[in-house]
A and B are shown apart, each in its own frame.
Chain A
Amino acid sequence: MTQKNGSKIAILGCLMAVITGLVFLEGCGGSSSTSSTTTPAASNTATVTIGFGALGPSGGYVNGIWTTVTVCAPNSSTSCQTIDNVLVDTGSAGLRILNSALTTVPASSLGGVSADSNGDQLQECTQYGDTSYTWGPIKLANVELAGETASSVPIQVIGGTSAAVPSQCLATPVNPTLPNGGNYDTLEALGANGILGVGAFGFPYDCGSGCTLTSNLTQTGYPYYVCPSGQACSAITTSTQVANPIVAFTSSDNNGVLVTLPSIPATGAADATVSGSLIFGIGTQADNALASTATVYALDGYGNIPTFTYNGVSYSSPTNYSVLDTGSEALEFLDASTLAPAGIVECAGYYCPSSTLAFSVTATGATSTSGTIAFSIMNADTLFATNNAAFNDLAGDSGTSPATDFFDFGLPFFFGRTVYVGMQPGVFNGETSPPSAASSATYGYYAF
C-alpha cells in the first residue's frame, strides 16, 4: 500500500530513534551510573486511576484502569489535546481514541494514511471477543505519555469515518445485548475515551504479518479496508497498522511497561480512590529495573503463558490459555461447574461463594520458569453491594467447561504488586527494539 503523508514522517521518526539510541548507547554503555553525558532521562511514569471511568457507577464498569494521553499532530508538540479516561489495556496493541473525544485537535489535523492512488484513507474494523467492534480511520499522531513521546505512530480514530462498516468484518453476528448494537463508537458504548493497548505480544502491531498477506484478504473478520467514495469498502494489506505507541518512543524506554498498583481491602475501594503507576521501559532507568525477585514468564507463540495448573489438572495453551490482562475487570478463572467442588457458585456471570475462598494455581512460562499464584475470590454480589469500583477478588467464568476454559488474570490480579509487561522484541519503522530485559522471551513476557 502507499502512504502519502506518512512515509516521510515515519523516516524522520526512524532517524530520531537511531540518534536517540546512539546517544543512549554511548552514554550508558559500560556502567549503569555513567549517565552524566546523556540527555536527561524522560519522565517515564504515568498515573493510573482505578474506577468506573467516564460514565460513572451507572454506565461505567468496575476495575477500569484509566490514564491520560496527549494526542498531537505528527511531529508537533504544540497542536495537542490531552484526553483522560483512556483505558490501559495489556491485552491489546495500540492507541484507539474516540473521534468525538478529539475536539481541539480534530482527527483531520492528524496525519492521514492513504490506502490507494486516489488518496482514500486507510480504515480499520477492530473486533473484540464480545463481538463488539471499533470502526474508523488510521491516523498518524504524536502520542505523549508522561514525559515520553511516541513519534508519528499509527492510531485508530474510532467513529471517524462516514463509510459503513464492511459486512466482511462483521460476519460474526453482533450480540444484540451490547450497547449501540456493538458499534463502540460512542462514549456510552465504549465506556472510555479510548483504549491504550500496551500488550506484550505481537510486537508491535495489532494484526502483524496476517494483514500483509493478500491471501488473507478474503477472510471474514479481516480488519483493514479502503472505502472509496460511493463504493463498497475493500480489504487491503498494509504495514501501517495500529502499533503499541511504546515502541515509537523517542527515548529508550520502549521495551515494555510496569503496572504498579497498591493493595486494597478485600471489600474493595471506592471509585477513583486508588492510584498507581504505568512506568515505561524495563531496565532502562533507575525506576524500572527488573526486580531480581521477579519471576519471568515467557509467552508462547500465541501470546499466552503456556500452562497453568489447578488442583492437579494442567491446562495448556492454545486451547486453555492464561494471560495477564488489565483490560479485564475480573479474574476469569475456569468455570462455575468445574469449581463447584471448591465452593464456587455462579451469580449472573460472576462467582458468588458463600464465604471468601482462597485459591492457588501454578503458572509455567515458555522457558519453564514457574511460580505459584495465590488469590482470593469473594462473593461478587457482596462486592457490588458496596458500590465500590476497585476489587482484588472479583472473579467469574472464563468458559463453560474445561474444554475451552482459560485463566484471564484481570485487573484484580494487579493490586498490591508490580507486573512487568515485556514486549516481544522486533522491528518498528526499520529499527530493532532495544534488548529485552528477559532475552530468552521470544514472544515477550510477563514478570512479577
Chain B
Amino acid sequence: MKSILGVLLILTLGTVPAWAVLGQYESSVSVDQQSLKGEDRVQAFEGYKVHQLTTTNGTMIREYVSPQGLVFGVAWQAPFMPDMKQLLGSYVTNLQTASKSQTQVRHLRGMIVKTNDFVFVNSGQMRHWRGNAYVPSLVPSNVSVEVVR
C-alpha cells in the first residue's frame, strides 16, 4: 500500500452496504443487498481504489476496483467463511471447474486454485478465515496483484 496517491474517505455508517462481485462493475456494491451490515470505506490509490467493508462481528471484505470500474480482486478476513457465490460471482464456476492439477488442497486447512485467469487462496479455521481472489486479466497494468490482500 505504499503508492498512496490521495486518500478519499467516505464513511457510510448505518447503511446497508453489500459486496461487489469479482469481475463486475463497482456498482454491484449497491446492487447486492447482502446481509453484511457495517461500514464501507473507500480509499483511492494510484491506479485503483478499494472498498473496505467491515462489520461489527469482525468481517472485513476488501474490493479492488480498476479505473474502468471493474472489480479485479477481492480479499477477506472473517470469523465465518464468506459467501463465495456472492463474492466471486460467475468466477465461482472457475473455482468449481478447476482441475486437480490447478488445485492445491491442504487437508482441512486451505485451498489454492490457480487457473489462467483466476487465482484463489483460502485458509484458516472457524473464527478466522482469510484469503483472496483476483482475475489477472482485469488487474490494471500498472498495479501489482500484491495489493489484493
A interface, CB within 8 angstroms of B: 61, 89, 91-92, 126-132, 171-173, 175-178, 191, 195, 201-202, 206-208, 210, 213, 215-216, 218-223, 302-303, 318-319, 321, 325, 327-330, 332, 348-349, 396-404, 406, 408
A127–B127 touching, CB < 8 Å = no
B interface, CB within 8 angstroms of A: 35, 56-59, 75, 77-86, 92, 95-101, 103-112, 114, 119, 121-132, 145-149
Given contacts A210-B57, A327-B109, A401-B145, contact A349 B104 (CB under 8 A): yes
Closest to A216 in B: B57
Task: Give the CA-CA distance A36 to B62 in the complex, in Å.
Answer: 60
Given contacts A206-B126, A215-B56, A319-B149, contact A172 B82 (CB under 8 A): yes
In the bound complex, residues from chain A placing their C-beta under 8 Å from that of B125 are 91-92, 128-129
Interface of A is mostly: loop
Known: A216-B79, A408-B106. 8 other contacts (CB 8 A): A131-B111, A175-B98, A176-B97, A207-B126, A210-B127, A303-B127, A396-B106, A404-B149
B108–A175 touching, CB < 8 Å = no
B111–A397 touching, CB < 8 Å = no
Closest to A197 in B: B125
Q: List 8 A-B contacts (CB under 8 A).
A: A92-B108, A130-B110, A172-B85, A177-B99, A202-B127, A349-B105, A401-B146, A408-B123
In the bound complex, residues from chain B placing their C-beta under 8 Å from that of A210 are 57-58, 79-80, 127
Interface of B is mostly: mixed
In the bound complex, residues from chain A placing their C-beta under 8 Å from that of B96 are 173, 175-176
In the bound complex, residues from chain B placing their C-beta under 8 Å from that of A302 are 128
A130–B107 touching, CB < 8 Å = yes
Contact of B122 (CB < 8 Å), options: A129, A219, A349: A129
In the bound complex, residues from chain B placing their C-beta under 8 Å from that of A218 are 35
Given contacts A175-B111, A207-B127, contact A220 B82 (CB under 8 A): yes
Task: Give the CA-CA distance A218 to B124 in the complex, in Å.
Answer: 21
| Nearest CB in chain B: distance from A217 CB, A | 10
In the bound complex, residues from chain A placing their C-beta under 8 Å from that of B107 are 61, 130, 191, 327-329
B80–A328 touching, CB < 8 Å = no
In the bound complex, residues from chain A placing their C-beta under 8 Å from that of B106 are 129-130, 328-330, 332, 396, 408
Given contacts A130-B108, A403-B149, contact A318 B128 (CB under 8 A): yes
Contact of A328 (CB < 8 Å), options: B109, B111, B127: B109
| Nearest CB in chain A: distance from B96 CB, A | 5
Closest to A405 in B: B121
B132–A173 touching, CB < 8 Å = no
Q: Report which residue of B80, B99, B100 has the largest number of chain A beta carbons within 10 angstroms of its beta carbon.
A: B80
Given contacts A216-B57, A222-B80, A404-B75, contact A175 B110 (CB under 8 A): no
B95–A220 touching, CB < 8 Å = no
